[in-house]
Each structure stands twice: as C-alpha cells, then as structure tokens.
Structure 1
Amino acid sequence: MAAKLEVLEQQIATYAREGIEYICITDMARYKNPERTDIIIGNWLRNRNTIEFLGIWEQLNNPNFNPIEFDGFKALAGLNSFTLTAKQWIEKTGAVGLISKAGRYGGTYAQKDIAFEFASWISVEFKLYLIKEFQRLKEQEFQQLGWDIRRNLAKMNYLIHTDAIKEHLIPDSLTPAQINHIYASEADLLNMALFGVTAAQWRLQNVEEKGNMRDHANVHQLVCLANLEAMNAHFIQKGIPSQQRLVKLNQLAIQQMTILSRQQTALASHLPADPD
C-alpha cells in the first residue's frame, strides 16, 4: 500500500504507476460527503470545464489519447442529460490521467495535477492543504532516498572491504567457520573505530531494537563508515596489522565526524563552515 496523505483530518491514498503519481479523489470526495463519493466525482466529470481540462492534459501527456471521443464528450458536457463516470472516460478515450481501481483499496485515482484541480472544485482551502501535504510527502521521500543512497554506498564499499580481507588475510587452509570469524572481526574493527562497541555489545545494549547498529546510524556516520571501509581495505593491502589499523581508523573517524558535525552546525546556523 502506497503512502497516505492527511488533509484536514481526511486520509488520502496515493499510488504510482509507470512514472505517474496518482492521488485518490474518492478519498478526497469523502471530505465533502462520505456517503456520496461516486455522485460527487460524477458531477465533477460532467462539468464542461473538467472535460476540457482532462482532454488538454491527455493531449499533452498521452500519445494514445483518442481526441475524437474527447470531442464527443465535450460536445455533450453541460447538458442536463449528460453523465460520465471515470471508467467510461478511461475506456472510451484511452486516458491515463484517471485510474479506476477495484478491491479493498479501490476508488478513482487522478494524476496529481488533475487531483489538485478536483480539490479546487471541492474547496480552495482543501486544495491548498493538499498541495502542502503532498510537498511534505515528497520532501520526506527525498530525505529517505538520500539515506538509502548512503546506506547502499556503505554496503558497496563493504564488498571492496571484504574482497581485500579474502585476498590478504585469509589463508587457503582456513575453514568456512574461521573465514566467517575473520570477516566478523574486521567488521567489528570498523564498528569499534566508529561506534566504540562491537556488534555483539550493541545488541546486548539494544535488545529491543530491530536490525544492527548500522541500520540505526545517522547520515554522517554512514558517510564516515563508507570512507573507513575503503581506507581499511587500503591498510589491509599494505599489510598493516589489525591493532595499528584500529588506531588509524579511530583517528580518521574522530577527524571526519568532527568535520561533518562542524559542517552541520554551520548549515544549521546559515553560516559558512570553517575550512580549518
């Protein structure tokens, strides 16, 4: 189930398909009258301005749109006898700006620009709050994307790190259990350098938390961890013993976290960071 918006205490589902973002206008219609959502959407669709808006949007965004059927609907729009459902509009014109979904999370969904137009028809106030909430959701998704990119960067660097361990630290005669122990020891070398505890120690201190300490790391720690993994692989290739590597990595972690924290403080106060 996709993320939900909350506008004036009304929960509104969202949906994405083939790169198009949709908002559930059935949920939006519930704000006006929860018992007559189909009638509300139907009244909106039979409006001539609505038909023209939908048709222009499709002509701009949908190469498979049927303009002949569109012209037929436009000619009838506004007549007392004219009725139209989202399903009829989609089937007759090949429209992609509206989606009619069945099932538990069903309803009529509209591409975000069309949804904002529907919101205007319901209430100007509702539209403004909807836009604000939608922007908040996009900002939240962008922040999460940034975190995921840094987390994946750390994971990719860890592959380089483990390859260096396999090539330079693991003799051919070791058993798989011994190999796993060496990998774990190198992972904890990084954990100690950055977090000051091993993975086992962290789990004992955080028994109710899900995942591991790296899953709970902040963005600065993940950036630093990615750098430490690359540096540790370099130290291993140089043949530096583990105890010396731990000291060097800890010094690097302190230095990098100090710089990152200073930069964050400068950004928070809208001042340039001290280059020294």
Structure 2
Amino acid sequence: MSKNHKIEVQGISIWVTKNNEDDYISLTDIARQKDALRSDYILQNWMRNRSTIEYLGLWEQLNNPDFNSIEFDGFKNQAGANSFSLTPKRWIENTNAIGIFSKAGRYGGTFAHRDIAFEFASWISAEFKLYLVVEFQRLKKEESDPAKLNWNFQRMLSKVNYAIHTDAVKEKLIPKSLAPHQIKFVYANEADLLNMALFGMTAKDWRDQNPDSTGNIRDMASLEQLVILSNMESINAMLIHQGITQAERLKQLNQIAISQMTSLLNAKGLKKIN
C-alpha cells in the first residue's frame, strides 16, 4: 500500500501515514470534528492539560530513549496554569519527542502515533474515538489482504521497470544539448505514451476528469492494468533502443495492451485473486 491513506470518520476525512514503519494519524484532521476552523487551537487546548502531558511523557519514556525528561518535568509542573500553553512544535523541539510530528505539503498537518491519536480522539468524543478505531482497523485489515499485497507488489514492480524505461529514454531520445526542464518534458511525454496505450488518455486528461481524486491515473489502476503497465515499460524501453518512432511505438503498445488485457481477463488464476 502507499504511504498515505485517508479514512472517513463521521464525515471527517482523516489522513493516516507511515513514520518509521509505525502508523501515525492526523491530529489536525481529528480536531476538525470539534471545530473545523480552529483545529490548531483545539489541539493546543488538549496539550496544555496535565493529564495529556503526563500521557505524552509516559509514551515517550516507553518508546524514545532520547526523550528529554528534564524538559518534560518542566512542562508537567507548569501544566494547568492559566498562563501555560503548549504547541506541538514546542513539545517536539524541547523534549525530542517522536510520538508527534508536523509536516507541510499535500498531506501536511500534525500527526501522532496511533496510541496518542486515539487518546486525543477520546478527549474530543468517546463516540468519535470508537468510530476512528473501527475505521483504522478496517484500513489495517485491507492492507493485509492478499489481493492488496499483490497489487502493491505489481505497483512496486512497475516503478522498478519505469527506472529502466527512463534510462532508455535518456540514452536514445534526449539530445545532449537539451536543458534539464526539456529532459523532464521528454520523460513526461514517454510516460503519457504508455498512459495513452493502456488507458486511452494522458495523466492530465485523467486529472481533469477526476478533480476530487487524491491519487493519479496509475494509483487507481486495477491489478490487471498494473501487470500490463509493468510489461509495457520494459517493451517500450526495448523499442526505444531499436529506434522505433513514437507514433509506431504507441500503435504497437496499444495492440500489446489489448492482447494482454484479453489474456489476463480470461486467466482463471487471476480471476481467483480478484
């Protein structure tokens, strides 16, 4: 499975990500259940409680050998005072905490280890925590499904073959005088050649048709399509080395995609996987 997943809990979208092989859940998203416009404020209110700080400190002491207990004691002594406030950033920087982290970007926000996230959800609402745990368990069950694991293997295989594919593009299609931004364009062009042959559209065409999707055209591909894509990347690399024009390669790859898809859909073994 990919590193980032989204689960739906009582109408709230919550991101789950991997950090050092552990599951971390977005506290920012959980806080939106209480106040969608002031999630940071909700999170800070939770962190200023003495019980919260004691729980966070205990978790770190059990899981983090580099935890700064001296700074932790200082926060614990101040907790509960009207003037005391604590942000995730301050907690992380002062105590070397690993149970909480913040990141920017598409999947940005404040994330916490699932143990801590469930504790925060309890503070938000006991009912909400229950639904969160149920959805999280459903996600973990889905990740362990053999068909999903096979899908993940094919996705990884596709990426490995893509590296071989781009090496062939660099060697045969890119003149030495091209600027870096032009080279990137050629790579994108070749990737869309495969997209056209297999999906009948470019990556941009797919995004335009699916504006609300969090993935891309290949993330949403079926197992059969990923198997074919993996094969096509190797075949296209070979055709590039042979000096075949792009137009002719597109025609051949499309015929290969049709033939392989027909074979895969008729294969009894693959039907059993699905």
TM-score grouping bracket, smaller chain normalisation: 0.5 to 0.7
Deviation at 1:15, TM superposition (A): 1.4
The runs of at least 4 aligned residues of structure 1 exceeding 4 Å deviation read: 148-152, 199-202, 213-218
Please list every run of 5 or more consecutive structure 2 residues that lacks an aligned counterpart in the other structure: 159-237, 240-253
Deviation at 1:20, TM superposition (A): 2.0
Match of 1:264 in 2: none
CA, structure 1 residues 69+216, in 2 after alignment: closer, same or farther (shift >3 Å)?
farther
Deviation at 1:203, TM superposition (A): 2.1
Structure 2: distance between partners of 1:113 and 1:36: 23
Which of residues 133, 136, 139 is equivalent to 2:135?
Answer: 133
TM value normalised by structure 1: 0.56
Deviation at 1:104, TM superposition (A): 3.9
Which of residues 50, 53, 57 is equivalent to 1:51?
Answer: 53
Structure 2: distance between partners of 1:128 and 1:134: 10
Structure 2: distance between partners of 1:214 and 1:59: 56
Which of residues 79, 101, 120 is equivalent to 1:77?
Answer: 79
Which of residues 147, 150, 169 is equivalent to 1:147?
Answer: 150
Structure 2: distance between partners of 1:38 and 1:15: 19
Structure 2: distance between partners of 1:112 and 1:120: 12
Match of 1:231 in 2: none
Q: Which amino acid aligns with 2:144?
A: F
Match of 1:15 in 2: 17
Please list every run of 5 or more consecutive structure 1 residues that lacks an aligned counterpart in the other structure: 156-175, 178-198, 205-210, 223-256, 262-276
1:71-115 CA distance string (max 9 Å, x none): 111111111111000000000000010011223432111111100
Match of 1:247 in 2: none
Deviation at 1:17, TM superposition (A): 1.5
Structure 2: distance between partners of 1:33 and 1:113: 22
Q: Secondary structure at the match of 1:131?
A: helix
Structure 1: distance between partners of 2:51 and 2:263: 53
Deviation at 1:146, TM superposition (A): 3.8
Match of 2:101 in 1: 99
Any residues of structure 2 matched to 1:112-261 within 5 Å, and which? 112-143=114-145, 144-148=147-151, 203=258, 212=261, 221-222=269-270
Q: Which amino acid aligns with 2:31?
A: A
CA, structure 1 residues 63+215, in 2 after alignment: closer, same or farther (shift >3 Å)?
farther
Q: Secondary structure at the match of 1:140?
A: helix
Sequence identity percentage: 51
Deviation at 1:4, TM superposition (A): 0.3
Q: Secondary structure at the match of 1:212?
A: helix
TM value normalised by structure 2: 0.57
Q: Which amino acid aligns with 1:221?
A: G
Q: Secondary structure at the match of 1:103?
A: coil
Query: How large is the RMSD of aligned CA atoms in angstroms?
Result: 3.3
Structure 1: distance between partners of 2:9 and 2:113: 17
Structure 2: distance between partners of 1:217 and 1:40: 54
Structure 2: distance between partners of 1:216 and 1:17: 37
Structure 2: distance between partners of 1:117 and 1:96: 16
Match of 2:31 in 1: 29
Structure number with greater Rg is: 1
CA, structure 1 residues 69+125, in 2 after alignment: closer, same or farther (shift >3 Å)?
same
CA, structure 1 residues 201+58, in 2 after alignment: closer, same or farther (shift >3 Å)?
closer
Which of residues 53, 64, 67 is equivalent to 1:65?
Answer: 67
Q: Which amino acid aligns with 1:30?
A: R
CA, structure 1 residues 215+129, in 2 after alignment: closer, same or farther (shift >3 Å)?
farther
